[in-house]
Amino acid sequence: MSEHTISVRLENKPGALARVSQLFSRRGYNIQSLAVGPTERPDISRLTLRVDCSEHSLEQIEKQMHKLVNVLRVTELRPDEAFERELALITVAVTPDRRGDLLALAQVAGAAVADIGRDAIAFEIVGRPDEVDAFEELVRPYGVRELARTGRIGLRRPGAKSSNNNGSR
């Protein structure tokens, strides 16, 4: 088993997302994260899926997805050929005496303050998914009150060499 990021160009049509997610549940594949949104074209959406599966399952996922009429292109985003980002919003409980520590920590981690309250601070952080993970771990000891992550999105690096096996089918 290993983790893979799959990028899907999908027709922006009713039910298209349901067909993809249905396929995953029907075939027993587990989605760790799924992010969907518009692309450079209004009639096309991009899905970024993170899955934990074997190479064999990954191949099956790509082939099965490619049979969906609304799916235009399925590409695996390999770590060396792609860049990925994620946004997280985290509300951390903090007593006034420890605010300074927390804010210093956030600054080092590159997180911004989104809102501040009497006994809590809300941060936003944008970064590579592992950077977001790291910040989450850093603030956990303070007491994470609420957390929302978008799930990763990614694209192929413009500078990536076109390999003969980039996972697209």
Partner 1 sequence: MTRMLGSDAVLRALEHEGVEVVFGIPGGAILPTYDALARGTTIRHVLARHEQGAGHMAEGYARASGKVGVAIATSGPGATNLVTPIADAWMDSTPLVCITGQVRSNLIGTDAFQETDATGITMPIVKHSWLVQDVEELPGVLKAAFHVARTGRQGPVLVDIAKDVQEGELDFAYPADVDLPGWKPPRKVHVRQVREAARAIAASQRPIVYAGGGVLNGNASAELLELVEAVRLPAVVTLMGKGCLPDSHPLNYGPPGMHGSKYANWALNKADLLIAVGSRFDDRVTGKVSAFAPGAKVIHFDVDAAEVGKIRHAEIPVVGPLKLALAQLAAEVRGLESPGHEPWLRQLESWREQYPYRYRREDGLLKPQTVVEALRDLTAGRDDVLWTTGVGQHQMWAMQYLVCDRPRSFITSGGLGTMGYGLPAAIGAKAARPDATVVCIDGDGCFQMTCQELATAALERLPIVVVIVNNGWLGMVRQWQELFYDERYAQTHLTHQVPDYAQLAEAFGCAGFTVESEDDLERTLAAAFDAGRTAVVDARVDPKENCYPMVPAGAAAVDVIEAPEEEVPA
Residue 19 binds partner 1 (CB under 8 A): yes
Contact (CB, 8 A) for 3 and 154? no
Regarding 147 and contact with partner 1 (CB under 8 A), the answer is: no
Q: Which stretch binds partner 1 (CB under 8 A): 20-28, 121-129, 130-138, 147-155?
A: 20-28
**Residue number with CB closer to partner 1 (66 or 78):** 66
C-alpha distances out from residue 163 to 48, 78, 80, 146, 160, Å: 21, 11, 11, 42, 8
Provide DSSP, 14-69.
TTHHHHHHHHHHHTTPPEEEEEEEE-SSTTEEEEEEEEEE-HHHHHHHHHHHHTST
| Cβ distance to partner 1 smaller for residue 29 or 135 | 29
- Cβ neighbourhood burial of 32 (10 Å; 0-12, 13-18, 19+): middle
Residue number with CB closer to partner 1 (71 or 153): 71
Whether the CB-CB separation of 88 and 136 falls below 8 Å is answered with yes
Is residue 7 classed exposed, middle or buried when 0-12, 13-18 and 19+ CB atoms within 10 A define those classes?
A: buried
CB nearer to partner 1: give 96 or 165: 165
Instruction: Tell whether residue 31 is a contact of partner 1 (CB under 8 A).
Output: no
Query: Measured between alpha carbons, how far is residue 62 from residues 2, 4, 17, 85 in Å?
Result: 15, 11, 15, 22
Interface residue with partner 1, options 2, 26, 96, 97 (CB under 8 A):
26
Q: Which stretch binds partner 1 (CB under 8 A): 19-27, 32-40, 133-141, 155-163?
A: 19-27
Q: What is the contact mask toward partner 1 in residues 35 to 74, using x (rule: CB under 8 A)?
A: ---------------------x--xx--xx-xxxxxxx--
Q: Can residue 116 be called a binding residue for partner 1 (CB under 8 A)?
A: no
Q: Minimum distance between the CB of residue 14 and partner 1, rounded to whole angstroms?
A: 7
Residues that bind partner 1 (CB under 8 A): 11, 14-15, 18-19, 22-23, 26, 56, 59-60, 63-64, 66-72, 169
